[in-house]
Amino acid sequence: MQYKSWRIAIAGAGVSGFATLGHLVTQLRDRTETPIQIYLFQPERTYQEANLTEAQQTRLAHFKALDQQNPIGSGQVYDPVQPALFTFNGSSAVRGFDFAQQRFDTANYFNWVQANRDLLAALYPDFAPERGQQRHRAHTLDDLHGTSPRGAYGLYLDEQFRRLLAHLPSHITVQTIPQALQSFVPSKQEVHVQTATASYWVNQLVCATGHRFAPIRPEWQGQVFSAYPCDRYGAELPANLTIVGAGPSGIEVALHALHNLGVERVSLVSRRGYARLPQIEPAVPYTCPWLTRQQMQRNPTAQRAQYLLRQSLLTAYQVSDIAYPGWEAMLHIEDYGRFLADYLQQVTPAHPLARLARPVMSFYGQTKDLLSSEEQVKVRRLLSSMKHLFATQSLAGAELMLAAMQAGRLSLKAGTFLTHHKTPTIAWPSNEQWQPNSVILATGFDSQISPIYSLAIAQGAGVVDDDGKLVVNSITGALINAYGTNTNCYRTAGTSLSSVNQQAAQTAKALVRQMVLSPET
């Protein structure tokens, strides 16, 4: 069936929005000649330049001179102005998105790095090996499995976006709109989207605005900051800084504060007093005989999941010929600094935790439809209790963190940030409370904060179930209304580049399928 036109809005031009756009163009390139208009909403980025390091200011000046200070595809996580200490872990994290050539592989990004070595050396003198100032021996542009600045990946994504625009088929038009989406109201055939100054009617909307983080209360202004973007803090940080959240974001912000911002000591606070171990790529493919859907079908409960996890750890350690410290020792670490030091001494691509990273990270997705709602919650809690073993922190970041701990400049503490207090407060396990002078929140995804869909719900859109909860199709990312049918609003997000790629491809497929099934417009 042929259509007069089709209009699609993508809110957010970070990596999720760009990946969705790329997969859409790929799937629509040869399937139809219908005119397709794609709107890409991305507000202009403003920087608090006084809070940038000298190297960051140099980068920003370079982009201003080229009128490219608002790149597409980078978002806040891969912003080219990010500190060079914000890196990722080579082939285990980097995915190339070359939609013009339809290539999606690590080598494609590595090849881009080699072709732009002179530029990267000039823009990242606090990293690049050519200047001899790299922070760590693994900070090298020569090794496909080494680390590179996340900001460099943001540059790569922006270049791929420009290449995609240069290779668009004649029936597809992409318009970037330098404003944020403020509200939207879906109806049966269209979605009305609103910015601060204009409104648009589109057939489909994709929200790619990233994960939701703990909000900053008005009473906390100037005392509590979010981890990204990092130029929100820096000029007035105290000598002793508190960072809440010890995942990859908290670790890299702590290293940035210690190395670049003149902070003397950082207290890294997490619920259990642990940080993340570095995830490395296994040397050989490893098939886990325990963490499978078939194993869970026998008894789909959290208790069964715990049994399978315990068996998986034991088996992986036996295969690796490394002494197994035991379930309790891995879940309840008394001295994290010593635990991390021991891990780094024996870590190799054959390490049992490297073998298990992918099976553990995909386990819930494979089995959640087998579980009742109550058991799903229990399994998520179980996996959350182990996530410090299977994270995506870089090896270089872990070694820098350990060095800071051994120098007495970084400490890990168990505690909870009390978001309901007007004064920033941390509760220790002893129930004592503490009010730190300055806090950076690196708390990651916060499921308690309503997503952007709440804007539609507030205006009467039928996108909640009988319990008043948002329903999202777990396969396509589409909203599902109270009658069980998909609306024309979708969401794309991911916790890694691989998951972003998968979500974006699925969303694009669902959008194209809806176009085929919809009546002529």
Question: What CATH number has the domain bearing residue 268?
Answer: 3.50.50.60
Query: What per-residue confidence (pLDDT) applies to 397?
Result: 87
| 501 has a pLDDT exceeding 50 | yes
What are the structure tokens assigned to 135, written together? 């922070």
Q: Are residues 133 and 266 in the same domain?
A: no
Q: Are residues 60 and 24 in the same domain?
A: no
Task: Name the residue with tokens 């909000």.
Answer: 215
Say if residue 238 is preceded by a cis peptide, omega within 30 of 0: no
Query: What per-residue confidence (pLDDT) applies to 161?
Result: 96
CA distance 97 to 501: 9
CA distance 453 to 193: 12
Instruction: Quickly count: other Cβ atoms within 10 Å of residue 328's Cβ.
Output: 8
Query: What per-residue confidence (pLDDT) applies to 487?
Result: 65
User: What band does 202 get if pLDDT is binned at 50, 70 and 90?
Assistant: very high
Q: Comparing 18-22, 139-143, 295-299, 402-406, which segment has the lowest mean pLDDT?
A: 139-143
Bigger pLDDT: 104 or 186? 104
Q: Are residues 269 and 156 in the same domain?
A: no
Nearest partner of 234 among 83, 108, 361, judged by Cα: 83
**pLDDT per residue over 63-121, tens digit each?**
999 887 788 999 888 999 999 888 886 665 578 899 999 998 888 898 999 999 889 98
Q: Provide the total of helices (H) and of strands (E) in the chain, helices listed first.
A: 15, 19
Q: Are residues 429 and 397 in the same domain?
A: yes
Bigger pLDDT: 202 or 279? 202
Contact 297, 368 (CB under 8 A): no
The most confident of 177-191, 208-222, 283-297, 300-314, by mean pLDDT: 300-314
Range of the domain at 492: 1-35+181-212+450-521
| 446 has a pLDDT exceeding 70 | no
- Over range 126-147, report the average pLDDT: 70
Residue 169, in any domain of the structure: yes
Query: What per-residue confidence (pLDDT) applies to 156?
Result: 94
Of 371, 389, 407, the residue that ends a domain is: 389
What are the structure tokens assigned to 388, written together? 């410090």
Environment class of 485 (CB within 10 Å of its CB; exposed 0-12, middle 13-18, buried 19+): exposed
Which residues are bridge partners to 9 per DSSP?
39, 205
Residue 286, in any domain of the structure: no
How far is residue 397 CA from its own chain's centroid? Answer: 17
Please report, for residues 48, 102, 231, 428, the alpha-carbon distance to residue 256 in angstroms, rounded to integers and kept in the order given. Answer: 16, 36, 11, 25
What are the structure tokens assigned to 341, written together? 């030091």
Nearest partner of 48 among 220, 219, 224, 236, judged by Cα: 236
pTM comes to: 0.85
Residue 340, in any domain of the structure: yes
Amino acid (1-letter code) at residue 181 = L
| 251 has a pLDDT exceeding 60 | yes
Q: Are residues 352 and 466 in the same domain?
A: no
User: What band does 445 get if pLDDT is binned at 50, 70 and 90?
Assistant: low
Q: Are residues 242 and 199 in the same domain?
A: no
Of 352, 372, 389, the residue that ends a domain is: 389
Bigger pLDDT: 138 or 282? 282
Query: What per-residue confidence (pLDDT) applies to 217?
Result: 84
Contact 440, 241 (CB under 8 A): yes
| 459 has a pLDDT exceeding 60 | no
**pLDDT per residue over 263-274, tens digit each?**
999 999 999 999
User: What band does 370 get if pLDDT is binned at 50, 70 and 90?
Assistant: very high
Residue 115, in any domain of the structure: yes
Q: Are residues 51 and 130 in the same domain?
A: yes
User: What band does 221 get if pLDDT is binned at 50, 70 and 90?
Assistant: confident
Q: Are residues 19 and 153 in the same domain?
A: no
pLDDT more than 70, % of the chain: 86
CA distance 355 to 229: 33
Q: Are residues 347 and 436 in the same domain?
A: no
Q: Comparing 186-190, 235-239, 272-276, which segment has the lowest mean pLDDT?
A: 186-190
Q: Are residues 397 and 350 in the same domain?
A: no
Query: What per-residue confidence (pLDDT) applies to 496?
Result: 78
Q: Are residues 268 and 417 in the same domain?
A: yes
Residue 283, in any domain of the structure: no
- Over range 24-45, report the average pLDDT: 90
Query: What per-residue confidence (pLDDT) applies to 521?
Result: 44
Give, as one character, the DSSP assignment of residue 426: E
User: What band does 1 get if pLDDT is binned at 50, 70 and 90?
Assistant: very low
Residue 200, in any domain of the structure: yes
Residue 97, in any domain of the structure: yes
Residue 502, in any domain of the structure: yes
Angle value at C-alpha 138, between 132 and 139, nearest 5 degrees: 50
How many domains does the chain contain in total? 4
Q: Are residues 271 and 404 in the same domain?
A: yes
| 518 has a pLDDT exceeding 80 | no
Is residue 172 classed as helix, strand or coil in its secondary structure? strand
